Structure 1
Amino acid sequence: MSFVEVEREYLRGQLLGRLATVGDDGTPQVRPLGFRLNEDGTIDLGGPRVASTKRYRNVLSRPRVGFVVDDITPDEPGGVRPGMGRGVEIRGVARTLRVADPPGEPPLAGPDIIRLYPERIISWHIDPENPGGYARNV
């Protein structure tokens, strides 16, 4: 598996991430969108009418992307660095697909998705056993 268990737990508990793509003219684009972590370690990114979006066209021509899921560490017993940021950054290659089971519920989910295949994963402040986080190529 590409993700360690604490990363998987964290990602399963989140609803929104930010996808960074690059257009044909070199202009970066960052968009928030819903996602699903798959058992094989890929991530499905969805939404309504995904195939009509700039991010979809960007992935078709330049499939290298970044995806970040983050929030603020809660102030709770056993929390890792309360009040600081925490999250997971995934860098890799994305592909466009049409699937029967998109992430999310209609009408907020359509059959066209972007699937991210991780190559590098960086996480921070999500594991009490390793507060500094993890960084590795997968």
Structure 2
Amino acid sequence: MLMIFTEAEARYLHDRDLGRLATIGPAGAPQNHPVAFWVDERAGTIDIGGPDLAASRKYRNIQADPRVSLVVDDNAPHPVGPGGQRGRGVEIRGVAELVRVERPLIPGFSQDVIRLRPRRIVTWNVDAPGGGSRNV
């Protein structure tokens, strides 16, 4: 089994189902999109889906430039970081691949999927106060 995420990161990601995907738009500027995602720990990838995904701007952006970043974050119910900070999260930077799956990730979604292959992971206040980053 390929282990991309630490145990704390994997637990954090599995407890959430909404993130923000940043892609690079036609003029070279970043564009952010809320997305549903699923972690495939065995493959070391993250699948992102949606209704009529192939018709979306994020899909077309990835066709032109596959570099992306997915941020999953929230405010903890109690202080988790320095100075009583409640913010915590994971950013996954990598390369996206456009794939078509046999069945939609959930009913109402298309069979088109954005598959994120992580290259760098940045965390803050997930497994301990503070943050860190590493290449994978």
Q: Deviation per CA, 1:52-108, whole angstroms, max 9, x where unpaired?
A: 001000001100011100000122xxx6236521000011100100012443x211x
For residue 120 of structure 2, what is the aligned residue in structure 1? 120
1:95 equivalent to 2:94? Answer no
For residue 106 of structure 1, what is the aligned residue in structure 2? 107
Q: Give the Cα–Cα distance (whole angstroms) in 2 for the partners of residues 102 and 7 of structure 1.
A: 25
Q: Which secondary structure does the structure 1 equivalent of 2:94 belong to?
A: strand
**Quick one: which amino acid aligns to residue 87 of structure 2?**
G
Q: Which secondary structure does the structure 2 equivalent of 1:9 belong to?
A: helix
Aligned residues: 131
For residue 65 of structure 2, what is the aligned residue in structure 1? 62
**Quick one: which amino acid aligns to residue 134 of structure 1?**
G
For residue 50 of structure 2, what is the aligned residue in structure 1? 47
| TM-score when normalising by structure 1 | 0.88
What is the 5 A alignment of 1:21-32?
21-32=23-34
| TM-score when normalising by structure 2 | 0.90
Structure 1: gaps spanning 5 or more residues: none
Q: Give the Cα–Cα distance (whole angstroms) in 2 for the partners of residues 116 and 64 of structure 1.
A: 9
Structure 2: gaps spanning 5 or more residues: none
Q: Which secondary structure does the structure 1 equivalent of 2:58 belong to?
A: helix
Q: Alignment identity in percent?
A: 52
8 Å contact from structure 2 (residues 80, 87) kept in 1: no
What is the root-mean-square deviation of aligned Cα atoms in Å?
Answer: 1.4
> Following TM superposition, by how much is the alpha carbon of 1:28 offset from its aligned partner in structure 2, in angstroms?
1.9
Q: Which secondary structure does the structure 1 equivalent of 2:38 belong to?
A: strand
Q: Give the Cα–Cα distance (whole angstroms) in 2 for the partners of residues 100 and 72 of structure 1.
A: 36
8 Å contact from structure 1 (residues 34, 46) kept in 2: yes
Q: Give the Cα–Cα distance (whole angstroms) in 2 for the partners of residues 72 and 137 of structure 1.
A: 25
For residue 136 of structure 1, what is the aligned residue in structure 2? 134
Q: Give the Cα–Cα distance (whole angstroms) in 2 for the partners of residues 33 and 14 of structure 1.
A: 11
4+ residue runs of structure 1 moved beyond 3 angstroms? none
**Quick one: which amino acid aligns to residue 58 of structure 1?**
N
8 Å contact from structure 1 (residues 73, 125) kept in 2: no
Q: Give the Cα–Cα distance (whole angstroms) in 2 for the partners of residues 28 and 136 of structure 1.
A: 22
For residue 36 of structure 1, what is the aligned residue in structure 2? 38
